[in-house]
């Protein structure tokens, strides 16, 4: 007989991604804890829901009072991730609510715990979703309710929030020409999401009664206040419900690649101001003996003053390993001699590929913009009491041509600019933290030790030692005093400094634990950390890290 209480674990993939990217994590997590995969999820053979269900029926946890259900969300696949962190989160919330309803109706159970896991962009999506769900009054501890009526009775406890290689500071620039070009292309060709990742959006305004003396070190500039914050900064601002919701989770685990992540750099994934791993030859790592990719601790050692022969230095500088990966045939994912043939064809193929990619990005961005307009209209109908026949809604299906009205191919119905602005303000207002007193008290606690007043719910221990939950120890960082030897790095933006100041504030988020992964011999560790493609040898290197993750995850 199935347990009457469910621990619902929601997983969200990254930009351009699909549930297939996080499927290895989802299935490994379910198998280890004797859980089930939601029927709303599609699995890639040879994985199948019936096999996982059969394993769950014989698992030691099958006799516990609570069981796990994993929802590997599919609602934001592919170019739908262009629609913005906020609208991706709104779709995810609908998916979560639909799953809670299914569990109550089809399985006659209640969702007692809710955990959120986000990979890459998905980490920002789940943080936004948590704030909205808090505002909706979903969590058992919620002190806020926007008046939205939920169609189910479950009020779960916020159990854990985990982010894996997530750009918490947005995209960090390196100062190189490529970085500048990528930023220009990303802001204009990745839809709403591109603007948000490059911190180019504004509009998140929060009225606060905090006095100047009570404002933390990185105070908001007046110009920022006039325009409003960008969304990623709003996610870390305690005046909004996003941080309030995060504080409910008994565990917050942040997994970041220490090196070789070409997509989400160490500083933004771990929200750190400095990257100590630029000194590769001065870093001493202590690895987890059972899961070597996981770093237990690291320290910065003093450089040894050994002299290198001239010819060795010259050979190292001329080594193909120092070339950009695009010019290094040894790094091409094809074998000799085809990799050298590809290098010779690069001057012809590269411009064509760049042109095709830019065309694809712009095309998908335009489609995304139209989809966002329609989503805004639906949100207005569902949440703002706007009728689909309201006069402020414009229908683009009739266009004028040569003085005559003709029907357009597109039947997109959208709101006018004034109405869209008003609805945006309503959305922001719904997410403002309702208890200013709590925020003021939080700022007065800066620098003080935080003491938990309530213990998190304990998970039942399985009878089989193979499935015991292991201690969730964070990576021990090198002393900050040793960072003085680091070379000068591209400075972060003032906005990014404010974000990391809030996220590292032990009074705001005392439960945050950072875990570093180290994959030194891969081209791009961003896909490896999640085992995006389990059949690829390079991605298999991340399996030990995923095993460490699921063994530390509490049922």
What pLDDT digit, counting tens, does each position of 432-485 carry? Answer: 665 444 444 444 444 344 334 344 445 555 555 667 788 999 999 999 888 877
* Tally of CB atoms within 10 A around 269: 30
Residue 524 included in any domain: yes
The answer to whether position 187 is within a domain reads no
Residue 497: predicted pLDDT = 96
Mean pLDDT of 378-389: 61
Same domain, 392 and 487: no
User: Taking 90 as the threshold, does the pLDDT of residue 115 lie above it?
Assistant: yes
For residue 222, tell me if it sits in a domain.
no
In 352-482, at which residue ranges do the beta strands (DSSP E only) sit? 393-395, 398-401, 404-407, 413-415
pLDDT one-digit tens code per residue, 282-339: 899 999 999 999 999 999 887 766 666 766 666 666 666 666 656 677 666 677 777 7
Same domain, 403 and 442: no
In a domain, 369, yes or no: yes
Q: Looking at the structure, do residues 296 and 322 belong to the same domain, yes or no?
A: no
Last residue of a domain, one of 425, 441, 465: 425
The answer to whether 184 touches 141, Cβ cutoff 8 Å, is no
More confident of the two residues 382 and 456: 382
Same domain? For 115 and 258 the reply is yes
518 and 468 both lie in a single domain: yes
**The pLDDT of residue 28 is above 80:** yes
Count of domains for the chain: 2
**What would the pLDDT profile of 302-314 be if each residue is shown by its tens digit?**
776 666 676 666 6
Asked if residue 222 has pLDDT above 60, the reply is: no
300 shares its domain with 341 = no
Residue 356 belongs to what domain range? Answer: 310-425
Final residue belonging to a domain, choices 365, 390, 425: 425
Three-state DSSP state, 263:
coil
Higher pLDDT, 148 or 57: 57
Residues 534, 390 within the same domain: no
Residue 317 and residue 256 share a domain: no
Residue that terminates a domain, selected from 398, 425, 452: 425
Q: Is residue 189 part of a domain?
A: no
How does residue 540 score in pLDDT terms, banded at 50, 70 and 90?
very high
For residues 179 and 274, what is the distance between their CA atoms, to the nearest angstrom? 18
Q: Is there a domain that residue 357 lies in?
A: yes
Least confident of 86-90, 312-316, 371-375, 487-491: 312-316
> Is residue 371 pLDDT above 60, yes or no?
yes
Same domain, 508 and 459: yes
Give the whole-angstrom CA distance, residue 390 versus residue 406. Answer: 22
Instruction: Please tell me whether residues 298 and 273 are part of one structural domain.
Output: yes
Would residue 179 count as lying in a domain?
Answer: no
Please check whether residue 343 lies inside any domain of the structure.
yes
Q: pTM of the full predicted structure?
A: 0.82
Q: Respond yes or no on whether the N-terminal peptide bond of residue 377 is cis (omega within 30° of 0).
A: no
Q: 116 pLDDT exceeds 80?
A: yes
52-95: per-residue pLDDT in tens? Answer: 999 999 999 888 899 999 999 999 998 889 899 999 999 999 99
152: confidence class by pLDDT, cuts 50, 70, 90: very high
Segment holding 13, helix H or strand E: none
Answer yes or no: do 392 and 460 share one domain: no
Is 31 in the same domain as 153? yes
């Amino acid at each position: 007989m199935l347990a009457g209480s469910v621990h619902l674990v929601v997983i969200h993939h990254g930009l351009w991604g699909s549930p297939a990217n996080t499927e290895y994590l989802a299935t490994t997590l379910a198998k280890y804890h004797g859980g089930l995969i939601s029927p709303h999820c599609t699995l890639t053979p040879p994985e199948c829901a019936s096999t996982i269900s059969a394993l769950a029926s014989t698992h030691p946890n099958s006799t516990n009072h609570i069981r796990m259900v994993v929802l590997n969300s599919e609602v934001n696949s592919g170019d739908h991730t262009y629609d913005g962190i906020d609208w991706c989160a709104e779709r995810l919330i609908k998916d979560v609510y639909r799953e809670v309803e299914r569990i109550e109706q089809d399985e006659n159970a209640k969702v007692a715990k809710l955990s959120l896991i986000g990979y890459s962009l998905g980490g920002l999506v789940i943080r936004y979703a948590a704030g909205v769900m808090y505002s909706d009054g979903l969590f058992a501890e919620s002190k806020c309710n926007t008046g939205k009526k939920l169609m189910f009775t479950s009020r779960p406890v916020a159990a854990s929030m985990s982010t894996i290689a997530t750009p918490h500071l947005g995209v960090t620039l390196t100062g190189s020409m490529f970085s500048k070009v990528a930023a220009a292309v990303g802001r204009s060709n990745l839809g709403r999401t591109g603007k948000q990742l490059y911190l180019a959006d504004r509009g998140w305004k929060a009225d606060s009664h905090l006095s100047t003396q009570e404002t933390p070190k990185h105070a908001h500039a007046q110009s920022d206040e006039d325009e409003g914050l960008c969304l990623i900064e709003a996610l870390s601002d305690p005046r909004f419900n996003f941080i309030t919701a995060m504080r409910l989770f008994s565990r917050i685990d942040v997994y970041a690649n220490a090196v070789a992540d070409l997509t989400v750099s160490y500083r933004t994934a771990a929200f750190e101001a400095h990257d100590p791993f630029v000194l590769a030859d001065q870093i001493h790592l202590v690895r987890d003996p059972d899961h070597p990719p996981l770093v237990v601790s690291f320290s910065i050692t003093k450089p040894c003053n050994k002299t290198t022969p001239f010819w060795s230095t010259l050979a190292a500088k001329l080594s193909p390993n120092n070339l950009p990966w695009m010019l290094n045939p040894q790094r091409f994912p094809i074998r000799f001699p085809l990799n050298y043939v590809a290098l010779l064809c690069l001057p012809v193929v590269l411009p064509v590929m760049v042109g095709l990619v830019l065309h694809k990005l712009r095309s998908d961005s335009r489609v995304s913009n139209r989809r966002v307009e329609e989503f805004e209209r639906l949100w207005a109908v569902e949440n703002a009491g706007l009728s689909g026949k309201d006069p402020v809604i414009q229908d683009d299906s009739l266009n004028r041509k040569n003085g005559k009205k003709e029907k357009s191919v597109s039947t997109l119905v959208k709101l006018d600019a004034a109405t869209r602005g008003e609805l945006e303000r309503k959305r922001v207002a719904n997410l403002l933290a309702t208890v200013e007193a709590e925020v003021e008290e939080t700022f007065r606690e800066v620098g003080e030790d935080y003491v938990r007043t309530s213990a998190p719910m304990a998970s039942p221990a399985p009878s089989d030692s193979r499935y015991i939950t292991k201690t969730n120890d964070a990576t021990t960082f090198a002393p900050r005093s040793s960072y003085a030897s680091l070379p000068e790095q591209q400075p972060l933006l003032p906005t990014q400094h404010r974000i990391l100041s809030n996220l590292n504030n032990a009074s705001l988020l005392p439960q945050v634990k950072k875990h570093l992964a180290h994959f030194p011999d891969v081209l791009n560790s961003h896909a490896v950390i999640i085992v995006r493609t389990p059949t690829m040898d390079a991605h298999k290197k991340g399996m030990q890290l995923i095993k460490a993750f699921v063994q530390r995850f509490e049922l």
